Amino acid sequence: MSAIVSVRGAVKEYALGAVKVQALRGVDLEVGEGEFLSIAGPSGSGKTTLLNLIGCVDTATSGVVQVAGKDTASLSERQLTELRLNTIGFIFQSFNLVSVLSVLQNVELPLLLQRRFSGKERHDRVLDLLGRVGLADHAKHRPSELSGGQRQRVAIARALVTRPQIVLADEPTANLDSVTGENILALMRELNRTERTTFIFSTHDAKVMAHASAVVRIADGRVLGREAPAAAQAEGH
């Protein structure tokens, strides 16, 4: 399995006034194509920072981050934006939908940014995805008219609509009840299997980790190890 994400010796420092805080202290990570990888660790361990580096929304202070074969440090702001648009899908903890757009328009947005598809192609693709996440009947609703689980399904559809190689999800079930969270993870797993999309998601919930094909443990900005989900779940309990 070839690596779609490769992180080597990644360090991320933040300045908090005069104090420098190290969020990542030399992280190494390889993620293969088609993996359903969980990054697990307690709050403040560096999970989100690591996802931000992989998602090209932040840059490492030192070290190398390669996404889809590209060294992110060598890319311009414009190229990084294009990489995010064409290669990466994002699912956020708080859904982050555009409140003034309908479900259909929210999902269509990345396709409009790509400017590759005709109106009909966009429409067909969006409706297909909405059908797969079970929201075909809600296409015209606004996000405020949906439940948390439904909003996260919209976010998943938006993340997948460009058929990205990687989907990054930062604690995707943290704001959902346990049943809805389970459903969302099951949906992500199914899409991972059918679309062969690489999923990398962060969590500190052992139940969530159980869905992963592999779990990378992280604490105090360092990767502690990579393990099978069963072992991780046992450790979590």
Partner 1 sequence: MKWVLLSAAGALALGLFAWLWRVFGGTSRVDLLVAFRNLVQHRRRSAFLGGAIAAVTAFLVLLSGLSAGVRETMLRTATTLMTGHINVAGFYKVTEGMSAPVVADYEKVLAVVHEAVPEMRYAVARGRGYAKVVSDSGSMQLGINGIDVRAEPAFAEVVQLASGNLGDLAKPNTLLLFESQAKKLDVKVGDMLTLSAPTTRGINNTLDVRLIGIAHDLGLLSTWNCYMPAESLRELYRLNPGSTGAIQLLLRDDALPNTPAIMARLRKALEARGYRLLDPDPEPFFVKFDKVNREDWTGQKLDVTSWEDELSFFSWTLKALDGLSATLLAILLAIVVIGIMNTMWIAIRERTREIGTLRAIGMQREQVVRQFLLEALMLGLVATVAGVVLGAVAAAGLNAARIPVPIGAQIFLLSNHLFFAVHAGTLASAVAAITLVTGLAALYPSLRAAKLRPVSAMQHFG
**Site residues (CB under 8 A) for partner 1?**
52, 55, 57-58, 77-78, 81-82, 84-86, 89-90, 92, 96, 98-101, 105, 108-110, 112-115, 158, 162
Q: How far from the centroid of its chain's Cα atoms is residue 114's Cα?
A: 19
Q: List Cβ neighbours of 204 (8 Å cut-off, separation of 6 or more).
A: 40, 41, 42, 43, 47, 171
User: Cα–Cα distance between 172 and 182 in angstroms, integer?
Assistant: 11
* Minimum distance, C-beta of residue 38 to partner 1, in the bound complex (Å): 21
User: Cα–Cα distance between 190 and 199 in angstroms, integer?
Assistant: 11
* Minimum distance, C-beta of residue 30 to partner 1, in the bound complex (Å): 23
* Minimum distance, C-beta of residue 203 to partner 1, in the bound complex (Å): 18
* Minimum distance, C-beta of residue 22 to partner 1, in the bound complex (Å): 17
Nearer to partner 1, 41 or 89 (CB): 89
Nearer to partner 1, 113 or 214 (CB): 113
What amino acid occupies position 186?
A
Tokens of 220: 């105090």
* Minimum distance, C-beta of residue 228 to partner 1, in the bound complex (Å): 31
Do the Cβ atoms of 71 and 20 come closer than 8 Å?
A: no
Nearer to partner 1, 8 or 142 (CB): 142
- Residues forming beta bridges with residue 36, ordered by sequence position: 199
Nearer to partner 1, 43 or 99 (CB): 99
Nearer to partner 1, 124 or 177 (CB): 124
Strand, coil or helix: what is 110? helix
Instruction: Residue 202: name the closest of 233, 171, 178 by CA.
Output: 171
* Minimum distance, C-beta of residue 86 to partner 1, in the bound complex (Å): 7
Count CB atoms within 10 A of the CB of residue 38: 28
Nearer to partner 1, 93 or 213 (CB): 93
Do the Cβ atoms of 50 and 10 come closer than 8 Å?
A: yes
